[in-house]
Amino acid sequence: MRPDKFRKAQKLMKSGKVVSKGLIGSSIYFTVKSNKDRHVIFRVPGQTWICDCEYYVLKGKECSHMIACKMLLKEQEKQELKK
């Protein structure tokens, strides 16, 4: 069974709450509109994800926001391929 965070991430992504600001420098910036706006950064050179939510800050584990952003990236890649 998939953990709740995947379901939460999917919901966030499908309801359009994940906004990509695109590549700035060597990082991709995202805003996830949750109860509170979360800021997620994907550092392309090291392929690392950073989020400013408590879950990530306290546990250092992949949070639902990161997963939602990953899903969005994948969707965008698929759409690029269709063009």
Residue ranges binding Zn ion (CB under 5 A): 51, 53, 56, 63, 65
Q: How far is the CB of 8 from Zn ion (least distance, A)?
A: 10
Q: How far is the CB of 2 from Zn ion (least distance, A)?
A: 17
How far from 27 is each of 15, 22, 82, CA to CA, in Å?
Answer: 24, 8, 25
Q: How far is the CB of 25 from Zn ion (least distance, A)?
A: 21
Residue from 50, 49, 54, 11 nearest 33 by CA = 11
Amino acid (one-letter) located at 42: F
Residue 14 or 59: which CB sits closer to Zn ion? 59
